[in-house]
Each structure stands twice: as C-alpha cells, then as structure tokens.
Structure 1
Amino acid sequence: MSKQHLFALIMWSATLAATAAVADVQTPAGAGARTSTAQSEAEEAAIRRVLSEFRTTRVPLSRAMEIAERLHDGSKTADISFEIDGPPVYRVRTIRNEHVWENAIDANTGSITGKEMTSSLKELDREDLAKILALKWIKQELSDAVQVAEKAAAGSALAGGLIRQDGKLNFVIVVASGDHLKEVLLEPPKVGKQDTSHH
C-alpha cells in the first residue's frame, strides 16, 4: 500500500505520461499475478527514470518553494511535485487567503516556465479544499516538514504535500535517498483555536 501511495504521489500531476496509464490501472480481485508484475516493473522503471533525472537537477525542492512563494507575498506552499514530462520542473501550488496559484519552476535554472494558473478556493475539489483549509490550522509549514524528512531519510526531497490517512492529516514527503524513493509521513502539530500567537 505504501508503495502504491508513493507511486501515486510521484504521478501526482500525470507526470510520467509513458507509465501513467499503467499506474492508474486498478487490478480487479482475482486477476492474474502477471498484471501486477507488469505494473511493478513499470513502477520500478518510472522510479529509476525519476531518480536519474532528479540527480542531474541543480535546484533543490526547498529553493523551488521559496521561488514560488516570493511570486505572491505572504503565500505558502500547499504542495509540490517533481515532473519530467519534458524538461524537469517542480510543479508548485501556493495559497494565500482565497487564492491558489500553480507555477512550474525549472529544476535546473529556478526560472518560472509556462503560464501561471490561478484559481480560488471555491474552484477546488472537496479533498483539495479540505487539505488547503487545514494548512491554516497547522503550525508547521511544508518547508519545515521537508527539512525534517530530508534529515530523517538522508536524502533530497522531490515531492510533498498533505494527505488524509486514517482520518488524520499528515505531511507526506517523498525523498530520493541513494537508489530509492522513501516516503516520510509527519503528523503536524495543530494550532489551537485560542492560540493567537504568530510565528
């Protein structure tokens, strides 16, 4: 389950066109083992491809988050993923108040590529909206979670965001460590409603 979730995170924005179709296939119960073996091989190949591209990039994920957040004063990163659907980029979603911005940051130069997509919270699906609203009640920011995960997994982060698992919201950070991708789950501390202090 962890591996499927990890792979789904890497495929977050349909990044690996060649293998995304395989990754999205739901294997019916009782289906032959051959289908799952083919899926596993496709996942392994996609992970190797992601790691190979990621190792050559010059801009770390934390820097891409800073670049995206500077585009809109006071915004913070909701989620970020490394994509190799062409030149390697980080796809970053930042939020502030009712606004959501999505930008692609070139993973080698740190420049903004493509057109910025802007939406409002009202346009998000229910799950995304719940995660983004939850960010307002969390003391820790995604950038903090990335630092903790990189230390814990002894590697470099290439994706991160919030997920709901067993009714709890956790940060999930995918870290490239050696020849492997490691998934680090962190439960963020919540801000009490009475807590009016700012950090």
Structure 2
Amino acid sequence: MSKKRLLAIIVWFVTLAATGAIADVTHTTLDAANRGAAEQRDAEEAVTRRLLDQLRNIKIPLSQAVVIAEHLHDGSRTADISLEISGPPVYRVRTVKNERIWENVIDANTGSVTEKEISSSLRELDHEDQGNIIALKSVELELSDAVRIAEKAAEGSALAGGLKKQDGKTNFVVVVASGDRLKEVMLEPPKVERQGSARH
C-alpha cells in the first residue's frame, strides 16, 4: 500500500497546509517560516482531534469493515483500508483475488456499501501498488490479524492499514488511534513457506 493511500485519513489537510507553507516559506524570514510550521502543527492537531472524535462515535470498527469487504468477493483478501472523514465517516477498502482488485466504500455506521464498486486489474495499478499487492501473496498473515495485533500493542482502535513493501522488506503498517494520539504500528508478517523448503 502506498504511503499516500495509507494516510488518506489526513492527506486532504496535509496537502492544503503544505502547499500554503511552501508558498509562504520560499521568500520569507525565519520567523514567518516558524510561524507557518506552528500553524501547520496546530491545524494537524485539530484534524487529529476531529478524527478521534469521529472514531469514538462510529459503530463499525475497521476490523468489521474488512470482513464486510471480503464477503463481497469470496476468497478475496484485503490489501488496504482507511477511514475517511471528509463527509460522513466511511471506510475505503481494496480487496484482491488473483489479478482482480475491487475498491468499495463502506459506511462506518451502518456497514452498508455506499458507492458503486470500482473493479480493475492488477496491471492498471501504479508500480508501487502492484508491488504491494503482489507481496500480499507471499505472506500468511491477513490484514485483519495485523489490525488486531496492532490495536492490542498500541492499546487503541485502527483507522487505516495495509501492506507496504519497502527496501526489500514487506510489512503491514497500521495507523491506530490511542488516547489523543495517532500511532503507526509496523508488523513483519511470516512468509508463506515454499513447498520444497520444508524438506531440508
């Protein structure tokens, strides 16, 4: 899962804030740059507070949204999921089976699918997303298991998660709301054993 997709829950704010900060900082004094950075931090904290408030009120946890999405296509696995709060809270979920990828939007309060499903083939994805989805075939752990482990480790509720391949390593990355903070938990899943390797 690409970093931009994993952090979709806050990317709409960060993009706007960063664009403004770059324009201001380029030709201004250090004081203005510091003021811009402080304003950006304050705005990010406000978004985090809003996100945490929304999370406390939703009825469908992320792990249940994973189950709902996987039941839409028997035998599919969840590649990534994120909570979005730009309107009514929804989960955006991508599931995969063989070479097909489905993207669904699931209402975080009712569990119903709220938008038309988007279906595509693996070849239509960008190189990074292709790599992450192909890597999913090589791991035994399901995203739902990774979410459960991350929530226990960080003592909170998951907002987003997916598989990320980076520097030759494949990890599940799960964003968890814990208290008044967001934590990113990385888990290295066990690899699927190849049939010949067990004989040595």
Question: TM-score under structure 1 normalisation?
Answer: 0.85
Aligned residue in 2 for 1:11: 8
TM superposition shift of 1:9: 3.4
Aligned residue in 2 for 1:65: 66
Aligned residue in 2 for 1:22: 17
SS state of the match for residue 127, structure 1?
helix
Whole-Å separation in 2 of the counterparts to 1:18 and 1:181: 15
TM superposition shift of 1:178: 1.3
| 2:102–2:118 contact (8 Å) kept in structure 1 | yes
Aligned residue in 2 for 1:167: 168
1:31-69 Cα shifts (integer Å, max 9, x gaps): 722332222222111111111111100001010000000
More deviation, 20-29/135-144: 20-29
Whole-Å separation in 2 of the counterparts to 1:38 and 1:146: 32
Aligned residue in 2 for 1:106: 107
| 1:10–1:82 contact (8 Å) kept in structure 2 | no
Aligned residue in 2 for 1:128: 129
| 2:131–2:165 contact (8 Å) kept in structure 1 | no
- Structure 1 pair 24/93, CA: closer, same or farther in 2 (3 Å)? farther
Aligned residue in 2 for 1:156: 157
SS state of the match for residue 189, structure 1?
coil
Letter in 2 for 1:21: L
TM superposition shift of 1:131: 0.1
- Structure 1 pair 195/57, CA: closer, same or farther in 2 (3 Å)? farther
Whole-Å separation in 1 of the counterparts to 2:105 and 2:61: 14
More deviation, 23-32/131-140: 23-32
Letter in 2 for 1:135: L
Structure showing greater radius of gyration is 2
- Structure 1 pair 96/87, CA: closer, same or farther in 2 (3 Å)? same
Unpaired segments ≥5 residues, structure 2: none
Whole-Å separation in 2 of the counterparts to 1:168 and 1:25: 35
1:65-118 Cα shifts (integer Å, max 9, x gaps): 000000001001000000012110010000000100000110000011011111
- Match status 1:118 vs 2:119: yes
Aligned residue in 1 for 2:87: 86
How many residues matched? 190
| 1:102–1:117 contact (8 Å) kept in structure 2 | yes
More deviation, 22-31/131-140: 22-31
SS state of the match for residue 74, structure 2?
coil
Letter in 2 for 1:10: L
- Structure 1 pair 79/108, CA: closer, same or farther in 2 (3 Å)? same
TM superposition shift of 1:16: 6.0
TM superposition shift of 1:171: 0.7
Question: TM-score under structure 2 normalisation?
Answer: 0.85
- Structure 1 pair 152/18, CA: closer, same or farther in 2 (3 Å)? closer
Higher helix share: 2
SS state of the match for residue 152, structure 1?
helix
Residue identity over aligned pairs, in percent, reads: 58
Whole-Å separation in 1 of the counterparts to 2:111 and 2:124: 28
More deviation, 27-36/99-108: 27-36
In the TM superposition, 1:19-58 aligns within 5 A as 19-23=14-18, 32-58=33-59
Unpaired segments ≥5 residues, structure 1: none
Letter in 2 for 1:9: L
Aligned residue in 2 for 1:180: 181
